[in-house]
Amino acid sequence: MKEKEEWTFQELQEHELLNHYGVDLGVLLEYLIERGIINTILAETKGPSLFHRYYTIS
């Protein structure tokens, strides 16, 4: 996981160390965000009020 600083949800789903979590990955991420272990970064897109969500380790 140290290959990059920011990850998209899609990249996390495809990562070989995390693919075992399957559909539970989203729940796990939300839990880690609530605990302050993972941060989210919102990056603007071309569309108004639409953002890409990136995940980083605190």
pLDDT in tens, 28-38: 999 999 999 99
Average pLDDT over residues 25-51: 94
pLDDT at 25 over 70: yes
pLDDT band of 40, cuts 50, 70, 90: very high
Tokens representing 26 are 């989203």
What is the percentage of the chain residues whose pLDDT exceeds 70?
A: 98
pTM value?
0.83
Cα separation, 1 vs 36, in Å, equals 18
- Nearest by Cα to 55 from 24, 35, 33: 33
Tokens 């949800």 map to which residue? Answer: 9
What is the percentage of the chain residues whose pLDDT exceeds 90?
A: 78
Tokens 């009020």 map to which residue? Answer: 49
